[in-house]
Amino acid sequence: TGPSGSNFGIIACLFVEVFQSWQILKRPGRAIGKLAAIVVILFLFGLLPYIDNFSHFGGFIFGWFLAFAILPYVSFGKWDRRRKRLQIIISIIVVCGMFLTMALMLYRGQSLNCYACRYLNCIPISEYFCKNMGQNLELV
């Protein structure tokens, strides 16, 4: 799938940047709308064969939480500073938990037993459109 997961992580960073600087942006709603439109279009492209929406989801979630932990922020008062520090701590804990979960799934060989999940990667609009893209989504 290439670097698409990391690209979604960068887009998630942009979302966090807009949320963190909401008070100093002129039109933050417009920025969120533009970013949301880009994400929806790219997720729709992920419904084509050989484009992995699971990496898109994973990259977006990791990018979201890492952006809270790593990006610098501007605080507007004592309460805002405390809230943002708490977000950093929670984000680091969540990212570590997600990383450990993925590492365990990788080394234990967990596979996904979800019939509807195959439609997140490719919607079969014809009989051979998504035929065996090299994915095994059943328990081994």
Question: What pLDDT digit, counting tens, does each position of 34-91 carry?
Answer: 999 999 998 888 888 777 788 888 899 999 999 988 888 777 788 888 988 898 899 9
CB burial of residue 9 (10 Å; 0-12, 13-18, 19+): buried
- Residue 125 scores a pLDDT above 80: no
Q: Which of 4, 75, 111, 126 is catalytic?
A: 4
* Chain-centroid distance, C-alpha 136: 22
What tens digit of pLDDT does each residue of 87-111 get?
889 999 999 999 998 888 878 766 6
Tokens 């969540």 found at: 94
Q: Is-catalytic flag, 4?
A: yes
CA–CA dist 82, 86 (Å, integer)? 6
In this prediction, residue 133 carries a pLDDT of 58
Q: Is-catalytic flag, 111?
A: no
pLDDT-derived band of residue 135, with 50, 70 and 90 as boundaries?
low
In this prediction, residue 91 carries a pLDDT of 92
| Higher pLDDT among residues 7 and 134, named by residue | 7
Alpha helices in the chain (DSSP H): 4-20, 28-45, 53-70, 78-108, 118-121
pLDDT-derived band of residue 139, with 50, 70 and 90 as boundaries?
low
Tokens 């890492």 found at: 66
Q: Which of 6, 56, 75, 91 is catalytic?
A: 56
